[in-house]
Amino acid sequence: MALTILEGSTFCVCDGHGDIDEPTMGLFVDDTRFLSRCYLTVNGARPLFLSCGRPEYFSAGFFLRNPVAGGLRPDELSIVRERFVGDGMQDRMVVQNHSSRRVEFELALELATDFADIFAVKAWDFAFGDPAHAKPLPAPVPAAYDPATSQFVFAANDGFAGRTQIVFSRPPEVAGSTVRYPIALEPRERWELRMDVITSTAGAEVAPSRIERRFGDERERVRDSLAAWELQVPKLRADWEDLDRAFRQSVYDIASLRLRSETNSLGKLPAAGMPWFMTVFGRDTIITALQTLLFGPELARNGLTVLAELQASEDDPSIDAEPGKIVHEVRKGKGAQAWFPRYYGTLDATPLYIVLLSEVWRWTDDAALVRQLKDPAMRALEWIDRWGDRDGDGFLEYGKRSERGLDNQSWKDSGSSQLFRDGRQAESPIAPCEVQGYVYDAKLRMAEIAREAWWDRELADRLEREAEELRRRFDEAYWCEERDGYYALALDREKRRVDSLCSNIGHLLWSGIVPEARVDKIVARLMGEGLWSGWGVRTMSSEDAGFNPIAYHNGTVWPHDNSLICAGLVRYGRWAEAHLIMRRMMEAARHFDYQLPEVFAGFPRSETPFPIAYPTASRPQAWAAGTPVLLLRLLLGLQPNRRLHLLETVAPAELPSWTGTLRLSGVRAFGKSWEVRLEDGHVTVSKL
């Protein structure tokens, strides 16, 4: 089993023993692996496992017993490893003799670092990479041991300025990069060791005398940060245990994913997900912010500001950038060398940026914000009209220009995600259906801002005309009469409908581009046997040739996808179907210890007594963590009324009995705090 411990962009992936002993494990900072091996033995043998757990996202405990080796009898020793991750990593080991005799043994730690970039490590993950064809990982760098300070120093030797310091509280015997401790313990006696791991991407070295204090300060800072976050977000008390616990886990997971930075505002945003996406992603940042507006506007405001700072200003084919485009991905350290410091290969983040700006305005009536961000919004609009529509047909399409770029640049960005019904691969440029919906929504929302905050009636009128024309032309171009009617996944380079039936049609409900006359058919397809697994809406219908219940984008169930589909159902007043998704998604959360994963398998509920995990799905993952938060908001029907500065509910007059009683206090909107109650099936909202 793999266990992750994280704080911001620093994270450790290890096994249940606390060992780092697999190609994809390690201590990572800024997309670089600073510790690639940490393996504990007693008398040359591995200790036996008892238990492990994470009391907090930034700490873990591993409980072991001695192996029967080198004269040790069964269960004479207990070995406890406590690990903290913050600005570096600290391990504390306690060995206790529980026998009635004196015991002598040797404890050893094998250590190594290779300073591998995160993409090289990711290639060894069979779900995201190709281990059979992955390039060899870098060789471990030589270790330099300083007996005066009881520390190892590992320095990168390939032109990268990385450095790893490992400082021990007891002087060891050293052989290469292995430390050994001959230990003799009387009955009931304990032995302790502290190991501090300090990392630097700039080659800086910290004096060992300062490290213990540094870690003490760091623990206090991390705990204070979590406490402040928990005070800021709303408090939920609900009879519906699945929702109550999933919401609490979401609060915790979003806190754990928050990046930290001493030099810029990136530190105020959640990373996309563990382990390979511990950085800013434009699309993920925006959708997570939209999902979690119930927490208050801070994450969304920060996201808008940071993404504006990262907005492309030049046409640069090498990174798929054009003026006004919102960034796809930001990388640091050796990850930036292997990929790009910034990469812009995303089609949907730019219209979604406008959607988020509008939604924050609707929840805050912050006219200063929308005026401050008018220039980035107008540049985004210009990108949509000029660069996003590559051939002038009125639809946004993508086609990579960078040799190292992504082949697919919608949210389903894996290489095989754009399939026809018969399994053929669509060729780019590709115009995904849901992105046209995002553009429709963005233009209507920007028209509202232009008319009421920028006092630009001419722009507002133009955008409304363009949105209506897009809606009409979209329906003509994407509607498929087969299967009793649905929208195609995309248009390919020849403007043919990519006719697989996919969950993307639910995003069209969310955007509002679906005409009322089509809604019944779209809902029927979403909740029909092909797409509906019983646990959630699948990414692809089981009736299509490309369907695979464990393919990343071609048959699995994505919680965030279902949350947006649920928002679309609520938008069109389809409450029964929305409630079914809410209930099933929370039941699924129960089987994942209330921490929804990025994705799980699309096997039918009738054949599986529990949802089947997807191998190596990110957990925690930002928009999966945002799912319970958005589903709670949708359940309660919460909508801001900007003109009256009220938080209102549009929930049905009577909710299902299984929703129970609920109290949500501390919801912030328009600078006020609100309390929401669900009692006897009825929702009420009052100002605190």
pLDDT band at 56 (very low <50, low <70, confident <90, very high): confident
pLDDT of 219 reads: 75
pLDDT of 263 reads: 46
Quote the Cα angle for 510-618-342, to 5°: 80
SS (H, E, C) 289-325: HHHCHHHCCHHHHHHHHHHHHHCCCCCEHHHCECCCC
pLDDT of 2 reads: 80
pLDDT of 613 reads: 87
SS (H, E, C) 205-247: CCCHHHHHHHHHHHHHHHHHHHHHHHHHCCEEEECCHHHHHHH
- Domains in the chain with CATH codes: 2-203+210-223 (2.70.98.40), 233-687 (1.50.10.10)
pLDDT digits (tens, 9 = 90+) for 165-198: 999 999 999 999 999 999 999 999 999 999 999 9
pLDDT of 456 reads: 96
Can you tell me the mean pLDDT for 447-463? 97
Q: Which residues contact 199 (CB under 8 A, 6 or more apart)?
A: 10, 27, 29, 34, 88, 162, 163, 164, 165
Q: Is the pLDDT of residue 215 over 70?
A: no
- Sheet with 490-491, strands from edge to edge, namely 431-432, 490-491, 497-498
Rounded to two decimals, the pTM is 0.93
Structure tokens at 396: 């946004």
pLDDT digits (tens, 9 = 90+) for 361-401: 999 999 999 999 999 999 999 999 999 999 999 999 999 99
Q: Which residues contact 307 (CB under 8 A, 6 or more apart)?
A: 282, 285, 286, 326, 327, 349, 353, 376
Q: Are strands 638-641 and 646-649 parallel, antiparallel or unpaired?
A: antiparallel
SS (H, E, C) 434-487: HHHHHHHHHHHHHHHHHHHCCCCHHHHHHHHHHHHHHHHHHHHHHEECHHHCEE
pLDDT of 122 reads: 86
DSSP state of 382: H
d(CA 274, CA 118): 12
In percent, how much of the chain has pLDDT > 90?
81
pLDDT of 108 reads: 97
Question: What radius of gyration, in Å, describes the C-alpha atoms of the chain?
Answer: 27
Residue 213, exposed/middle/buried by CB under 10 A (0-12, 13-18, 19+)? exposed
d(CA 167, CA 129): 34
The type of residue at 636 is L
pLDDT digits (tens, 9 = 90+) for 581-620: 999 999 999 999 999 999 999 999 999 989 988 876 777 8
In percent, how much of the chain has pLDDT > 70?
97
What's the whole-number average pLDDT of the chain? 93
